[in-house]
Structure 1
Amino acid sequence: MNIDIASLYLILALFFFLLPVAVFFATSEFRDRQVYWWCVGGLGTSLGFMFVGLRGVVPDIVSFYLAHVFFAIGFSFRSLSLRLEMSINIHRTALIYAAIGSIYVIVFSLLVYTNASEFYRLNWVHGYLVLMSLDLLWISQSIYHELKNKGGKLIAWMAIFILIGLLVRMVGYTTELGGVGVFEKGTDQYIGIFFIMIGYVLGNFGFIQLRLEKLWEYKKAVDVQLADTRSKNLTLEEILEEKNELMRTLSLSAKANSMGTMLGAIAHEINQPLGAIRINAEMLLALIRKSGDREGFQEALEHILQDNERAAVVVSSLRKFFIKGSSEFVSVDLSELIGDVYRILLPEARLHGVNLRAEIEPALMVKADLNQLQMVALNLINNAMDAVEGLAGEKNISIRLYQQDKRVILEVSDNGPGVPSDRVATIFELFNTTKEFGMGMGLWLSRAIMDSHEGTISLLKGPANETLFQVSLPIYSLAYQN
């Protein structure tokens, strides 16, 4: 061969520079500390061979000392990069590599300083390279056996080819079959450099294979996680639908349970205007028969119409209250809804001597499920009536509906004994009740309904220290829809 050995070293340096650059760009999708360290190792080896090839051109301090510092950096970082494949806790291993590399550079420097022959210097260098190549072989074999990664096998072949090249070179200058000097021509030089080049090509392909297989595993894990997330989302949607269906069922069930009590009171209330209608009708007939008094006839007729209207309002409110609505949210006039509930419960309140008052601002619109909001209002007012039932004095319940900022506020307060202090924190929990025969579902269901409506329900104290439940809902109008 006509190519001198120094030029081969420079070609080898260029080759070792291009390989880590190729690795760097090939692993752009999954570039991490392991990739950076492998590339630093390749660049270190490249600089080492470059300074060796420039021996006689650059100062001896660069060729003799700095070159071998880069060799130590190159082999150490390459091995550390592979060790990251099996464990990220390599602090102690990094210190060991730093110590070995420092000993290698110091001993080589002493050999140069003491003018030791090139034979001993070559033996020391090749001994270090053999040690690091054996370490590389052990790491790559461990990666292959533990992770079953084909990249580990290629890196193992890299270590084997480097070892063959080093051993050929060592046999050459030890037996004098090859050149003893660094740049002395010999078949062992060419064979050694050839095997090292083949080894490095295989090793870098192996490292890329390591990263690609890890990327594929990561993508598979992401796909599995996404599939699991989609499955959980579907399950969650089913659970939410079951919860909404449960709330609708409980709402209607609570209304049905309240029907008996309310129907008695409503029947009593309807009987009064119907009785008055009968009396006024009889009076009208008597007037017509006796004197034909037109003025009396007109007054009696007006009373009949008023009482008839009163009965119609009660019946209309009752029908509207017990209509089964859709689960879809619609625009609801909360003022009208609370007014209907108030009119329905007013007869029962009167029968029990309860002073039920209502202050309702008109035309307060919300987007809601009509039946669920009826359930909340009914539950709060019934709870208030139960709270004042045992009072000896005045029994007062107040209903207030008003707008505050962009919210509609419903307040139901009573002058009952209040909620015991040890029950305040758990008053909205399922099966928690202060009533002797209560089930503990009303307030829990009311809070669940408010959550689904982006609203809140709270237990507060009123201005006169009375028990006050406050419901807050976002107002719904053309001004706030955006």
Structure 2
Amino acid sequence: MSSKLAQEVFNPSEVFARLADTVPCGLYEYTLTLENEGHFHYMNTRGFEIFDISSNELSDFGKNIWGLFDAEDANTIAQLSEKSNLTGVPFFFEGRITTQLNNTKWIRMSSHPSTTFYNGCLIWSGYILDISHEKRLVKENIEKNLELSLAIEKVIRYEELEKLNTQLHEALEEKNLLLRTMAAYAKANEMGSLIGSLVHEINNPLGAININTQSLEFEIDSIQKSGLTPSSMNSLKDISQGLIRSNRSLSKVIANLRNLFIMGRLEFEVFDFSQMVENICELVAREIRASEIEFCKQIKEKIHIYGDQGQLQMVVLNSINNAIDAVKNHKGLKKINLSLTEEDGRLCFEIQDSGVGFQQDSLQKAFELFHTTKANGMGIGLWLSRSIVENHNGTITLSNAPNGGAVVRIEMSVNQ
């Protein structure tokens, strides 16, 4: 090979061009004006492929490149470029572009400011990688892991359901016992959001008892020193009445809790459904106030039914909690209407909220086991509620109110 030919073949620029076309990423060099307009002076073959342009389009590409990014990403790159220009440190960016051929690609890029100027503009160089395949693999991996997790979860659920079915088939009498046990568990689950309120309801009378006890100790010391006086007698009476009031308040909270978690007898019995609803309303009252919900209730007194009080407590508590969940973070009107009426030997319990209501597909699937629209829901509440209501020869229906919001309606025979 002649010396002249060798110089042409192994010319540094020719060698660089050949080497640049062997790397799996795009390489480019450009200048950036003060108006943040780029002028590309070099790009290797892989760069043209990633941006879906030809070498003839390179001269105008600096004006068009910002159109490949959405406005937010373009603004981010501009800020990174400005910071890099001040610090001399390269910037890195990862995002999506949409080329002129309408191809959407995930890219990873970096640009570095040099110390060389061309026509008064700083020269930048960098690289770009097409990571679309990598992103697809990550997405596919996540989807496969999710499918696997769901499959495992379904297997676990089906195994549990199969065990449940086996128990149900052992004897017809076990059905009511199973519902009672599940109702108690569901009530405990429903009580999760009320714990803070109940602690407050208990702490208030306990704090009052503590203050009155300290006052009582002070009065006893005073009596020991000065004797019993009319003023001391009045103070003792006030303290005594304060202790009695606090004790009654505490006893009421505990009684409501005890009533909520009764398991009931093996056989159905007659009980006051109206009083049961009132007790549950008292338990959720603080949660409703804390969420700034307007709560309107109309409860007809002394409606008695024949059934399992423990199971029906779960149904009512689940309905009220669902209504609270539907409106407590609602940006519009936050209101719940609860009514209990009796007509023609049947009671009607209805609760309506001012939330967004049921989606059409949710209305069709709402009573299916494990179906839920809540982020942390288990999909048991409505399924179990329908099982319990039907076990009491009643009906439970869901609908959307004409003016918006969800409606839950329960009808059962009263005890004549």
The 2-side partners of 1:463 and 1:281 are apart by 55
| Maintained 8 Å contact 1:397/1:414 | yes
**What RMSD in Å do the two structures reach over aligned CA positions?**
2.9
1:322 maps to amino acid: F
Alpha-carbon contact 1:402-1:409 (below 8 Å) kept? yes
Instruction: Pick one of 427, 441, 449 that aligns with 2:388.
Output: 449
* 1:462 positional shift: 4.6
Correspondence for 1:249 among 160, 173, 181 = 181
> Does 2:379 correspond to 1:440?
yes
SS state at 1:418 partner:
coil
Secondary structure, aligned partner of 1:468 = strand
Distance change >3 Å, CA 245–CA 402, structure 1 → 2: same
Q: Structure 2 unaligned segments of length 5 or more: list them.
A: 1-166, 224-228
Q: Which has the larger radius of gyration?
A: 1
* Aligned-residue offset at 1:310: 1.0
Q: Which of the numbers 352, 356, 379 marks the counterpart of 2:318?
A: 379
Give the superposition deviation at 1:387: 1.0
Q: Name the CA shift for 1:236/1:278 in 2 (closer, same or farther; >3 Å).
A: closer
Partner of 1:107: none
Distance in 2 of aligned mates of 1:404 and 1:463:
24
Structure 1 residue 408 and structure 2 residue 340: aligned? no
The answer as to 2:396 corresponding to 1:396 is no
Match of 1:273 in 2: 205
- Gaps (5+ residues) in structure 1? 1-234, 478-482
**Cα 1:315–1:238, aligned 2, differ >3 Å: closer, same or farther?**
same
The structure with the largest strand share of the pair is 2
Q: TM-score, normalised by structure 1?
A: 0.46
SS at match of 1:325: coil
CA distance in 2, matches of 1:390, 1:236: 40
1:272 corresponds to which letter in structure 2? N
Instruction: Give the counterpart letter for 1:434 in structure 2.
Output: T
Q: Once the two structures are superposed, what CA deviation does each residue of 1:158-177 show, in whole Å capped at 9, x if it has no partner? A: xxxxxxxxxxxxxxxxxxxx
Distance 1:265 1:331 in 2: 31
Give 1 or 2: higher helix fraction. 1
Q: What is the match of residue 313 of structure 1?
A: 252
User: Aligned residue for 2:97?
Assistant: none
Q: Which residue of the partner structure matches residue 163 of structure 2?
A: none
Distance of 2:351 and 2:326 partners within structure 1:
12
Q: 2:325 and 2:369 mapped to 1: Cα distance?
A: 19
Deviations 1:255-295 (A, max 9, x none): 23234443332122110121123234444555673972555
| Mapped contact 1:412–1:469 kept (Cα < 8 A) | yes
Map 1:111-190; keep pairs closer than 5 Å: none
Q: Which residue of 2 aligns with 1:369?
A: 308
Aligned residues: 243
Task: Kindly state the Cα deviation for residue 455 of structure 1 after the two structures are TM-superposed.
Answer: 0.6
Task: Specify whether residues 325 and 443 from structure 1 end up closer, same or farther in structure 2 by C-alpha distance, changes over 3 A only.
Answer: same
Offset of residue 428 of structure 1: 1.8
Identity of matched residues, %:
38
Q: CA, structure 1 residues 301+394, in 2 after alignment: closer, same or farther (shift >3 Å)?
A: farther
Query: What SS does the aligned partner of 1:386 have?
Result: helix
Instruction: For residues 369-402 of structure 1, give each alpha carbon's deviation from its aligned partner in whole angstroms, at most 9, with x where no partner exists.
Output: 1111011111111111211232235532232222
Matched, 1:431 2:370: yes
Task: State TM-score, norm by structure 2.
Answer: 0.52
| Paired residues of 2:345 and 2:413 also in contact (CA < 8 A) | yes
Task: Compute the displacement of 1:313 (Å).
Answer: 0.4
| Residue correspondence of structure 1 range 470-481 to structure 2 within 5 A | 470-477=409-416
Larger RCO, structure (CA 8 Å, separation 6 or more):
2
Letter aligned with residue 206 of structure 2: L
C-alpha contact (below 8 Å) 1:365/1:475 kept by paired residues = yes
- Aligned counterpart, 2:289: 350
Q: Helix, strand or coil: the match of 1:328?
A: coil
The one-letter code matched in structure 2 to 1:472 is: E
Paired residue secondary structure (1:375): helix
Query: Match of 1:400, SS?
Result: strand
Deviations 1:391-433 (Å, cap 9, x if unpaired)?
Answer: 2355322322221221111112222221112322222222222
